[in-house]
Chains A and B, each alone.
Chain A
Amino acid sequence: AQKVTQAQTEISVVEKEDVTLDCVYETRDTTYYLFWYKQPPSGELVFLIRRNSFDEQNEISGRYSWNFQKSTSSFNFTITASQVVDSAVYFCALITGGTSYGKLTFGQGTILTVHP
């Protein structure tokens, strides 16, 4: 069975601080996909990134960056120079093969609050 753990329940920062959201996953499959989603107060989940298990390259998109390390089964998300609009719940998620194919396993979510 697969599992995603986001150990940080809540994080509070002041605007312009950098913040890293941790994500650790468990799976026995060699082929899997990792995701990050943002859920602002409006409720809709917004897709941020997808990574497959064969691509360990880190990625940067504006103020967002992701660090994927298979050796530690981690897929951490860093926001540089945080802004108030970054306040949301962030979910890390996993899809694996086999009978679970296509089904997202979500972490518990991290509530990020950015204060002005």
Chain B
Amino acid sequence: GAVVSQHPSRVICKSGTSVKIECRSLDFQATTMFWYRQFPKQSLMLMATSNEGSKATYEQGVEKDKFLINHASLTLSTLTVTSAHPEDSSFYICSADKDGDAKNIQYFGAGTRLSVL
């Protein structure tokens, strides 16, 4: 159990367009999900904590109007990169904290590689 699906795995878009990335917990419920960004050969940087039914909590320096997060159900969180620019090109990874097990284990999706032309 504890499978997280992230879609799409790769997206190429033109500058100025918006891109939506989905993160689904397939076999468990997750009130809390997380969105990370990872640059090549670097560690993961937490962008925001996504909470079902309430507003996301963004980390310092992350523009909430740029990176829109919606957590409409206990199994789905979405990240929308609005008006994408080349500097937004990166690897985005989501994770989900399984409700009820109180172990703080985050289960990760396979990531989305975004390339903005």
Rounded to whole angstroms, the CA-CA distance of A104 and B36 in the bound complex is 10
User: Could you tell me how many residues of chain B have their Cβ less than 8 Å away from some Cβ of chain A?
Assistant: 23
CB B68 to nearest CB in A, in angstroms, measures 20
Q: Does B110 contact A (CB under 8 A)?
A: yes
Q: Are B91 and A43 in contact (CB under 8 A)?
A: yes
Q: Are A106 and B97 in contact (CB under 8 A)?
A: no
CB B32 to nearest CB in A, in angstroms, measures 6
Rounded to whole angstroms, the CA-CA distance of A74 and B28 in the bound complex is 32
By CB atoms of chain B within 10 A, which of A43, A44, A47 has the most? Answer: A43
A-B contact count (CB 8 A): 51
Q: Does B60 contact A (CB under 8 A)?
A: no
Contact of A109 among B43, B49, B97, B109 (CB under 8 A): B43
CB B102 to nearest CB in A, in angstroms, measures 11
Contact of B105 among A44, A50, A107 (CB under 8 A): A50
Q: Does B56 contact A (CB under 8 A)?
A: no
A interface residues with partner B (beta carbon < 8 Å): 33, 35, 37, 42-47, 50, 91, 95, 102-104, 106-109, 111
25 A-B contacts, Cβ less than 8 Å apart? A33-B103, A33-B104, A42-B110, A43-B91, A43-B111, A44-B108, A44-B110, A45-B108, A47-B2, A47-B106, A47-B107, A47-B108, A91-B43, A102-B49, A102-B97, A103-B34, A103-B46, A103-B49, A104-B44, A104-B46, A104-B95, A104-B106, A106-B43, A108-B42, A109-B43
